[in-house]
Every structure is written in structure tokens, then in C-alpha cells.
Amino acid sequence: MKIIKPSAIILTPKDGIAALQFIESMARISHRSEDMQTNESWKKFLTSVVIQRGDWSVVEHSNSTVVFRVDRGVTHELVRHRLFSFTQESTRFVNYQKKGGELEFIKPVLLPETGQWHWEQAMISSEREYFELLKAGVRPQEARSVLPNALAATISVTGNLRNWRWFLLARTTQETHPDFRAVTVPLLVQFRDLIPILFDDIEPNARQVNNFQKPH
């Protein structure tokens, strides 16, 4: 049994400014002002069209892919965001006996000291019984029923930048599950560093009611 830290890493875009420049070039089609675009015009353009005028639809022209390694409670909440595209590690098709013979679990960030021992015992026992089932000839897709929510899973998530903004507004708040927030708050920092302007007004741990009033 291995206990690992959860993570979320932006795979694309590699160049956030290029993503914003692409949005600008697509948005300029409406006014046939493509010839006005320069290397530096993205900042002024996005500020006036998106932030001040509120035309968030143009932001849908650029996408981002993020790879999460989180527990299965968090993947379940993630896939509720219907406009994203997903690929998730499968407990039907992965035979963990053949993939290192060890399961990876993610410990709840707010698990109190009094719960530590019981939690670890539960993980040890579910891992042991899972491998016993495989040894007895049970297929992974049936053996998986003894695995807990704490099992780590990799999930790749792709969506446009408008959808990522909504996701970060919804999932970095005080009301977000602490194990979800443990990856979304650092993810928000990555988005803000990589792609200026679009995520600058999102504050970690805000109240949901305030975030839901922000434009998106």
C-alpha cells in the first residue's frame, strides 16, 4: 500500500499567451478587424471585449487539458462537469497485480488524528482482499467492488477556457470538498500564472454565492 499526494497538472496549452492571441484572432472575425492584431494587442483586446463588455463566448476558442491524480470521490465530482471531455483510469481494465502489485491511496486532508489508524487498517484490508480475489481467479472488474473511494485514479480532463473558468469558480470555494480544493486551489495558481486576465479575479476559498455571481 502506498499513500500518495493528490495532484493536478496543466498539460496544454504550453503557451498561455499564444492561446489568448488565438482567441483574439477568432474574435476579430466578427468585425473584420484581423489586420488590427499585433503581438501585443491581446491584452487590451481581451480586457475590453471579455472583461469589460462581458463577451465570454470568444474564450471558448482555446482549450486546456489537465491531468489529475485524485481519489475516486473527487473523480466522481469532477465528471459532473458535463461540458468537459474525460479519460479515466479504469478499475475494470487495469489489473493492479500486473501494475506493480501495490495500490495507491489518497488520505483525506482533514482526517483527524483519532481516525488515522482505522483509516490505514481499512486500506490495508481492502488491498489485501482485492489481491486475494485476483489470486482466486476473480477478474479486476468484479474484484474492484472491494476497493474504497480513497483509491487513487488518474483522470485527464479537456475543455475550453470558459468552462475552466466556471469550474474554478465552482470548485475552489469554501464549500468545495477539502480533498477537491487541495488540488483546485494550486491548479488555479497554475492557470493564473500561465494564462493572464481570464482567471485573475478568482480568489481561493471564496464563498460560493460570491463566485457564482461573477461573469463567466
Ligand X SMILES: Cc1cc2nc3c(=O)[nH]c(=O)nc-3n(C[C@H](O)[C@H](O)[C@H](O)COP(=O)(O)OP(=O)(O)OC[C@H]3O[C@@H](n4cnc5c(N)ncnc54)[C@H](O)[C@@H]3O)c2cc1C
- State which of residues 61, 81, 144, 192 lies at the interface with ligand X (CB under 6 A): 81
Q: Beta strands 104-105 and 2-3: pairing type?
A: parallel
Dihedral of CA 123/126/130/131: which sign? positive
In the block, residue with C-alpha cell 473511494? 149
Q: Out of 28, 72, 165, 171, which one is annotated catalytic?
A: 171
| CA-based nearest residue to 177, from 108, 118, 113 | 108
What residues have CB less than 8 Å from 88, skipping those under 6 apart?
Answer: 75, 79, 153, 154, 155, 156
Which residue, 139 or 212, has its beta carbon nearer to ligand X? 212
Minimum separation from the CB atom of position 8 to ligand X (A): 16
The window from 19-27, 33-41, 140-148, 170-178 that contacts ligand X (CB under 6 A) reads 170-178
The answer to the question of residue 175 lying near ligand X (CB under 6 A) is yes
Minimum separation from the CB atom of position 20 to ligand X (A): 21
The answer to the question of residue 34 lying near ligand X (CB under 6 A) is no
| CA-based nearest residue to 164, from 8, 43, 6 | 8
Query: Does residue 171 carry a catalytic annotation?
Result: yes
- State which of residues 170, 187, 198, 202 lies at the interface with ligand X (CB under 6 A): 170
